[in-house]
Amino acid sequence: MAAITASEVSATALPADSGHIDRARLWTVARTDLKQLIQAKDFWIPMLILGSIFFLFVPTVLLLAITRVGNVQVVEQLSTTLEVLPQKAQEAIQGDSDAGRAAYAMAVYLFAPVAIVVPLTISTAVGAATIVGEREKGTGEFLAHSPAAVREIYLGKLIASLVPGYLTTLLGFGVYSLVVNLIVGPDVGGWFFPTQEWWVLMFWVVPPFLALTLSLVLRLSARVKSTAAAQQASGLVTLPLIMVAYSQSTGALFGAGSASFVIGAVAWVIAIIGLSRGVRAVTRARLLGVADGI
């Protein structure tokens, strides 16, 4: 039997899409994917381990080494390193001792990667398999013939990919804040974290970079032939975006008060454009695996 091509999928065989977005159908798609992730121990156990490493173990060991162990050589080296920070950042550093100032700088300025690497890594792993995975599991046909519009399927998949990474980051951020305040707080005059810059970073700068990355990853997931190919391709896309997001997030922490808002605003504009273009990659033919190039 000849292979079915995209041109042979008749318009009457699949539900027609309208411009209206039904929130109930959208959330049904997202909720179904999230429920499957919750039931998959091979997903959320590594996710918790990853978050624990970045938000709990590494910061705890390094901050304790500075404030409690009292390695004079390390403290002196960190104190010297502080001199390369922007003047505004140097003026904001708190602490009466070299150890206190070094710990403050490390907690506030040098752990920015935890807010970038964790959500992008986790969400990319989910997003890479979200479309191609439906075809491999045989559920793509169900989605393609469901009443949900393509845009609703795309947004539902996007939400299901975004939530695990960002939720883990928010929970980890709370744990990290507690660790920082308990270990560094006594040396700088009390609880001080999160700073204003970190609030803006977490709720204004990180989300658009995460959304932009997922828009590209979902596009790849819709076009490739296998989950393995999607994961490899998404890795190539995610790595430079992690570097860009990290550099911009670090700049938001180091820069003037308005810098973080500007960076976030630009990122949001780019993310919205990326999301609007990404939805075109998801079609019912691709869910069925009969689109050209699949």
Half-sphere exposure of 250 (CA within 13 A, CB side): 17
CA distance 59 to 112: 11
Tens digit of each residue's pLDDT, the chain (294 residues): 344 444 444 444 555 555 677 788 888 888 888 888 888 887 788 888 888 888 889 889 888 887 776 556 666 666 666 666 666 666 777 777 777 777 887 888 777 667 777 887 888 888 887 877 777 777 777 777 778 888 888 888 889 888 888 888 888 889 999 999 999 888 888 888 888 878 888 888 888 888 888 888 888 877 777 777 777 777 777 777 677 666 666 666 666 556 778 878 888 999 899 888 888 877 777 777 665 455
Contact status, residue 180 vs residue 60, Cβ threshold 8 Å: no
pTM of the predicted protein model = 0.78
From CA 21, how far away is CA 27, in angstroms rounded? 11
Longest dimension (CA), the chain: 79
DSSP conformation class of 266: H
Q: Could you tell me if 203 and 115 are in contact, meaning their C-beta atoms sit under 8 angstroms apart?
A: no
User: What are the extents of the domains in the chain?
Assistant: 20-288
3-state secondary structure of 18: coil
Q: Cα(146)–Cα(168) distance, rounded to whole angstroms?
A: 31
